[in-house]
Amino acid sequence: MPSSYAVTLWCGCRIYVSCHPRTSLTNTRVLEKRGDGCRVRNHLVGTRLWLWELLPDRRQTNPAVRFEAS
């Protein structure tokens, strides 16, 4: 398991996820880059996100989440 990775959310925002090196448990999720078309007011660069904030918006018809190892 990588010690950190990036997640691109349904809104286009990129999240940096940091994991504990020994346990591989996620300990930090920070908004790294705001998506061009993001309309979520709380998505500010540098903001920590809760796990449920990574879930797709129910109102979206084609929610897509992409994982990228870093």
Helices (H), the chain: none
d(CA 33, CA 18): 15
pTM for the whole thing?
Answer: 0.69
Alpha-carbon distances, residue 49 vs 25, 26, 68 (angstroms): 15, 12, 18
- 70 residues of the chain, pLDDT tens digit each: 568 899 898 889 999 999 888 888 888 999 999 999 888 888 899 999 888 877 766 665 455 556 666 5
d(CA 16, CA 23): 18
Structurally, the chain folds into a number of domains equal to 1
| Element (DSSP H or E) covering residue 26 | strand 26-33
Q: Which domain holds residue 59?
A: 4-69
d(CA 2, CA 21): 8
